[in-house]
Structures are given as C-alpha cells and as structure tokens.
Chain A
C-alpha cells in the first residue's frame, strides 16, 4: 500500500510537469503582455518593468527559470499586484476559499446523500419524485442565478443576511456563499446516490440479506449503502478539488476575498505568474484528491488492491 502511494506520487510529477509546460506556453503565446493593457504606462517604464521581470529573455530561458523557482516553492511576484508575491496572495486567499469550499462539500455530501437514500428507498413514490424534482432544479439553476436570488430574498427582502463581504469570517457572511456553492453539488450527489443506491438494492447479495431475515437497517446501511458509496467517492474527489480552490462566481457576487477570483482576472491581465500559480495549485489539489479517492476505494471495497 505504501509502495503504491509512493508510486502514485511519483507518477504525479510528470503529470504536473506536463500541465505546467502546456499552461506556461499557452499563456505566453497569447497576444498581449502584463504591462500593455490600458494602464497608461510610458514606453520607458514598460520596458523597464519588462527588463526587471526578465520578460525580454528568450522564452525557453524564462521557462527554465520558472521551473527552477517552482521547485523551490517560489511562485514569483504578481505582475499586476506588484506589492505581493503570488505565494502571499494564496496564503491570504486560499484559507478563505478552503473554508467555504469544505463547508459546502460537507453540506452537499450529508444532505445530498441523505436525500438520495430517501429517494432510493421510496422509488417511484412521492418522496422520490420530490427529491428528483429538487435535484433537477438544483443542478439546472446556475450559480450565478442562485447567488443573486439568495441575495434578493435573504439579504434585501428579509434582511437576514448581509448582501456580501467576508466580515472576517463571520458565520452570517458565510451562509450565502456556502449555500450557493453547496446547492448544485447537493443536487448532483442526491441524484448519484439515488441511482447507485437503487442499483445496489437490486443486487443479488441484498436479496440474500433479505432472505436471511436481516433487519432493514442492516440491509440498507451495512450492505446496500457501503456498496453504493463508490460512485459518490469518485465524484467527490474532483468536486472537492474544484470547490476548495474557490469559485469565481460566488466570490465575485458575494465579494469574498478568496483565490477563485484571481484566475480570470490574472488571465485577462496576462499576470503570468499568478495564472501559473493558480494552475499549479488547482492541479496539485486535483492530484491529491484523486489519490484520496483511490485510497478510499481500497478502504470501502476489499476487491480493490494496490500492490
């Protein structure tokens, strides 16, 4: 098992390398640069800045420098937020994004999972249809519609929540963003859980468990649910990676100082280092969570063996 873990981490390195390389050259090939967007910089200052950041070096040399710095954990300075290094930006924003994302993930898994189980146990009855309808709505309505509607209802009409802002992490400030993040995931988890639970309940070994007179609790929880968890686990991995690295929509609408906003801004401003930093962080999260998924698989299913 340990050997497997090490091998997986080692194979992650080439993946990461490929991602870094592709992204680096993609963003560099794109027209424009960090200092020639409507910023009114005089040509001299612009040339100065470009020389200072080594942007006039041949591309392969810049690439080489970037890789070297990256190996030392140095993401470089941000070009458009000149007072900060990319590392500092992440140190400030990432905890906020992780807090919101993790809360949303837990909420989605718990509530969505429960709803899915309820639906599966009442297949083709009222409760099932109610869950399906809710789930369809949840996964269909885009976040950029849910978020302003939450603002409209809870903040503007009922005045229960603040319209936005982080408020140093006050609970009330988190409710809107977390709900917005969680609702679509909840819907997807509920659907997945319903489907895999129905399939699990139909399997032959469940028939055996019933024929042996086991209690409903044992049949549903011990035997059916454990088998039904596998699809949820494989969904939750990438979903967690996406949630924890922030959401541009939620952070923009609720004015949250997370890292989700950086990506789009940085790409549009050609803030090369910040873009690359975001790509690397997302890739690392994705790799880690995929690994966790595989390990959880082995825990839940004894047929899965890594050696």
Chain B
C-alpha cells in the first residue's frame, strides 16, 4: 500500500539522481578495451561451456590413427593417410592389397589372400579411425581375390590432435570450462574469506585488529608455493577441495585491502555523522561501510580471478593440479611444452586461449578500476 503511494508520489524522473554506480557504468561503457574484453570473455565462456556439446569428438576419445596430427581446416584423412591406414588394415587382415581407387567418399580396393577371404575380417576395417561401413562388393570364384569397399570417415581437427591422438579443439574447450570455473570458485572463496576477515579487523580496530593483522603478516612471510604444495599434499587429487584450499590461500591481499578501506571509511566524516546520530554499529556497517567497500572488492575480484587461473595452470603444469583425462589449460600447456619440438600447436592453441582470457580479465579489471575510482587517471 505504501509502495503504491510512493509510486504515485514519485517525482518526475529528472529528479532521480545518477548514483556513483551509474556513473561508473557510463565510464566503463566508454572504455572500448574493457567492453571488448567483456564481450570476449562472455564469448569465451559460452564457447567453452557449450562448444564441447557440438564437437563431434569427445575430449577423451583417442584416435590411434591421428597421433599429433597438425591442425587443419580441411577434413582428415588426407590422401597419403588413407593409403597408410589401408596398408595398416590389410596387414591386420593378413591380406595383400592389389589395387585401390577412390570414388565419392568411398575407397574400393581389391585384396588377394592365400586362403578364401573370411567376411568377418571386415571388422578390422570398421575398427580403424579412418574407415566405416565396409562391405564386400564381389569375390572371385575361388574366393582368393575380393573387392571391398569402405566409406572414409571425414574428421576435422581444427587444432590438431595431441600426442595420444585426442582432438585438441575439444580438449581446449573442456579445459577452458575447468580453468574458468576454478578461477571463479577459488576467487569467490578468497574474496569471501578476505572480506570477512579484513572487515572484521578493520571494524573491530585496536588490539583485535593488531593481532589479526599480525597473523596475516606471518602467513605472508611463509613461502606461498610451500603453502599451496602442502594443501595439495593434504587434499590429494580432489580438485574441488584443492581449489577451495587455493582460494583460502589467496585471501591475504584481499584481507589487507578491505581492512585498509574499512579503517579509512570509519574515519570518514559521514561515519562520524552517523555515530553522532546514534546509528548502531550494525547500521553503520550495512549502510556506510559495506556499500563503500564494494568498489575495491569488485576491482580486486576481477584481478584475482586471473591470478587463480594462473595458479591453477601453474600447479597443473607441475602435475599437481587437474589430473588426466580431465584437463585444464595448464595441463595442456604442460604437454605442449614437452612436445614443443614435434608438435608446437599443442602449446600454441591452449596458450593462446589462456593468455587471451587473462588479458581480457586484466583489461576488465583495469577498466573497472578506472570506472569506479576515476581520480586515479
């Protein structure tokens, strides 16, 4: 009822103010690099989340015929690969190839054997990654010479394949899912712990603050990587738990930032004014401290997510993170670095995905900082 009345009493829209958030949004929209990065990131997320559903390859499927196949826009198999694969198959069927020709997506070839051809041998053809739908077209009367035809399966490997013959395109996208979700998950954990801890210290002040910050100092002076490795050791290979733990390590910066902000906000005259009006601590926290903390927290969060992604990649690179067959950009880059002499695409594609995502996140973070804190220009 009151709301209805309010709506009627509402003044003309011109009298509505432009909040600092509104201002910040306008400034962010004017920042082309940040906006482009935002679109890029959204597109990257959509592609990584939904892309694998449309990919013809599962990220775990191994194609023994296509180990370290270079990336190509045209479909595989290529001419010489067909011959190679065919030679492979005939060897398994213990028959000799006499002649072959290709017509509209099928190979037709004639084989000779010392014993009459057993039709069950066709299964060797179907088992190969290259051929499908094999059938006997005709047989010579003695059964020693057989004409077989089989469809060649067309496969696209846009990013090539890895060193066991898995499609790198699908794997890169699936890895993206993992890397992005870990970044978000651990980032959230770190932000939550950091904000609660820092705000408590900053708001409590005095001795409590001193002790709490002393603890942070001690944790800071522990070698960071030691901490992470210990967590990996404790939590083993459970990657969700592990990255909750990683998030729990990264909260230190956040805690310091939030505490500093909380302290400075508490000294602001508008907080003193609220105290002079008798507003309770909870009211001051809700109406003054938290809304003014939000800016730095948002900025730091966007800068934290790439840090987490980087950390995950780093751990995976060391073999401590995500385990095969599950994959992440760090795992892929690690494999790429190991195969750099023979298959550089294994490094270059995942590295491009990782680096461009990190770039986008950084630009968004910088853009947000400029937008929320314009005096820094």
Residues on A lying within 8 angstroms of B by beta carbon are 15, 18-19, 22-23, 26-27, 30-32, 136-137, 139-142, 144-145, 147-149, 151-152, 156, 248-249, 252-253, 263-264, 267-268, 275, 278-279, 282-283, 286-287
Contact = CB atoms under 8 A, between A and B. Distances in A.
B223 A145 contact: no
A263 B229 CA distance: 9
Contacts of A287: 221
Contact of B313 (A19, A137, A144, A151): A144
The 7 closest A-B pairs by CB, nearest first: A148-B337, A267-B229, A145-B351, A282-B223, A140-B358, A30-B233, A144-B317
25 contacts: A30-B234, A31-B233, A31-B234, A140-B355, A140-B359, A142-B314, A144-B313, A144-B330, A144-B333, A144-B334, A147-B337, A148-B333, A152-B344, A152-B347, A156-B340, A248-B318, A252-B318, A263-B223, A263-B225, A264-B320, A268-B229, A278-B223, A279-B226, A283-B221, A283-B223
B340 A152 contact: yes
A19 B217 CA distance: 11
Please classify the interface of chain A as helix (H, G, I), strand (E, B), loop, or mixed, using the class held by over half of its residues. Answer: helix
B336 interface: yes
B176 interface: no
B1 interface: no
Interface string B349-366: 001001100110011000
B230 A267 contact: yes
Given A19-B218, A22-B222, A263-B223, A141 B355 contact: yes
B230 A145 contact: no
B217 to A, nearest CB: 8
A149 B359 contact: no
Interface string B177-195: 0000000000000000000
Contacts of A32: 233
Contact of A253 (B230, B234, B337, B362): B337
Contact of B354 (A19, A145, A149, A267): A145
Contact of B233 (A141, A147, A267): A267
Contacts of A253: 337
B340 A148 contact: yes
A279 B223 contact: yes
Contacts of A286: 221
Contacts of B347: 145, 148-149, 152
Contacts of B233: 30-32, 267-268
B341 interface: yes
B301 interface: no
Contacts of A140: 306, 355, 358-359, 362
Contacts of A30: 230, 233-234
B85 interface: no
B310 interface: yes
Interface string B282-303: 0000000000000000000000
A147 B333 CA distance: 11
A147 B340 CA distance: 11
Contacts of A267: 226, 229-230, 233
A100 to B, nearest CB: 17
B207 to A, nearest CB: 19
Question: For chain B, which range describes its interface: under 10, 10 to 19, 20 to 34, or 35 or more residues?
Answer: 20 to 34
Nearest to A260: B225
A23 B318 CA distance: 21
A155 to B, nearest CB: 9
A153 to B, nearest CB: 10
B25 to A, nearest CB: 23
B256 to A, nearest CB: 14
B46 to A, nearest CB: 22
Contacts of B218: 15, 18-19, 22
B337 A263 contact: no
A142 B223 contact: no
B222 A23 contact: yes
Interface in B321-336: 330, 333-334, 336
Given A19-B218, A267-B230, A142 B313 contact: yes
Given A142-B354, A267-B226, 20 more contacts: A15-B218, A15-B221, A19-B218, A23-B222, A30-B234, A31-B233, A136-B359, A140-B306, A142-B313, A142-B355, A144-B333, A148-B347, A149-B351, A156-B340, A253-B337, A263-B225, A263-B229, A268-B229, A268-B320, A279-B223
A145 B230 CA distance: 25
Contacts of B226: 23, 263, 267, 275, 278-279, 282
B221 to A, nearest CB: 6
Contacts of A149: 347, 351
B318 A27 contact: no
Nearest to A145: B351
> By CB atoms of chain B within 10 A, which of A15, A144, A248 has the most?
A144
B321 to A, nearest CB: 12
Contact of B362 (A18, A136, A142): A136
A145 B333 contact: yes
A283 B230 CA distance: 17
A249 B222 contact: no
B159 to A, nearest CB: 16
A159 B128 CA distance: 39
Contacts of B344: 152
A32 B232 CA distance: 13
Nearest to B337: A148
